[in-house]
Amino acid sequence: KAGVTQTPRYLIKTRGQQVTLSCSPISGHRSVSWYQQTPGQGLQFLFEYFSETQRNKGNFPGRFSGRQFSNSRSEMNVSTLELGDSALYLCASSLDLSGGYEQYFGPGTRLTVT
Amino acid sequence: ELKVEQNPLFLSMQEGKNYTIYCNYSTTSDRLYWYRQDPGKSLESLFVLLSNGAVKQEGRLMASLDTKARLSTLHITAAVHDLSATYFCAVEKPTGNQFYFGTGTSLTVIP
């Protein structure tokens, strides 16, 4: 079956702009999580959605937001971009993040803010 | 906040040798996951450990979980070059719905 897909794969934006990243989970998966990966901070949890509801949110400013649609596809949005937002953004899907199920990761979106 | 520490951060080992990567975490959790990441790639799931004493093996890798000690280990047996990658452990928050990742261990296997 098809894996987790993320679009776009690469993105270059300017400070102050906003960006929307998209994630399509594996068919049948209702949980989608987002992570930010940087060399300095490692892998950090952004938020998790299950059946269109945000169940948990990491320690990120309000500029980071997300949503999930009825088909489980998810988007995350970052407004007023800062240089420090440059990172690899990973999306992961699972049947249910709280159920001990594996997470399957997408290829990521590499965001560069100049 | 749950803290997850891995050591070592960097590991260079010769082919054929054995070694262990350690993952310590700060709060009780019964669920721990190991992932592999190749340079420029995403994360690949290796092991899912869901209870105290759980042990899983796949090829030259074996993972175990001791929830009382809040410790998981990833043991590498007779390393080969193909195992060169960064390995992450991740702990599930006790109340669920959130993972905390370790710092990662960058493994290089040299001939």
CB atoms within 10 A of CB A82: 12
Q: How far apart are CA B15 and CA B107, in angstroms?
A: 12
Q: Is the pLDDT of residue B111 over 90?
A: no
Residue B39 in contact with partner chain A when CB distance is under 8 A: no
Q: Which residues have CB under 8 Å from A46's CB, separation 6+?
A: A33, A34, A35, A36, A57, A58, A60, A64, A66, A76, A89
Q: Is the pLDDT of residue B96 over 80?
A: no
C-alpha distance from A46 to closest chain B C-alpha (Å): 9
Residues from chain B contacting residue A98 (CB–CB below 8 Å): 92, 96-97
**% residues pLDDT > 70 (chain B):** 100
pLDDT in tens, B38-64: 998 899 999 999 888 999 999 999 999
> What pLDDT score does A83 carry?
97
- Pairwise CB contact (< 8 Å): A105 & B31: no
Residue of A nearest to B94 (CA): A98
Q: What average pLDDT does this structure show over B71-95?
A: 94
Interface test with A, best of B30, B42, B65, B86 (most A CBs within 10 A): B42
Residue of A nearest to B5 (CA): A42
Residue B31 in contact with partner chain A when CB distance is under 8 A: yes
Place of tokens 């054995």: B18
**Between A33, A35, A102, which is nearest B48 by CB?**
A102
C-alpha distance from B31 to closest chain A C-alpha (Å): 7
> What pLDDT score does A47 carry?
93
Q: Is the pLDDT of residue A18 over 70?
A: yes
Q: How far apart are CA B97 and CA B63, in angstroms?
A: 23
pLDDT band of residue A9 (cuts 50, 70, 90) is: very high
Beta strands in chain B (DSSP E): 4-7, 10-14, 19-25, 32-37, 43-49, 55-58, 61-66, 71-76, 85-92, 99-101, 105-110
CB-CB contact of A64 with A46 (8 Å): yes
pLDDT in tens, B19-32: 999 999 998 888 99
Q: Is the pLDDT of residue A1 over 70?
A: no
First to last CA, chain A: 37
Q: Is the pLDDT of residue B86 over 70?
A: yes
CB-CB contact of B6 with B72 (8 Å): no
pLDDT in tens, B99-108: 899 999 999 9
> What pLDDT score does A96 carry?
79
C-alpha distance from B79 to closest chain A C-alpha (Å): 25
Residue of A nearest to B104 (CA): A42
> What pLDDT score does A101 carry?
81
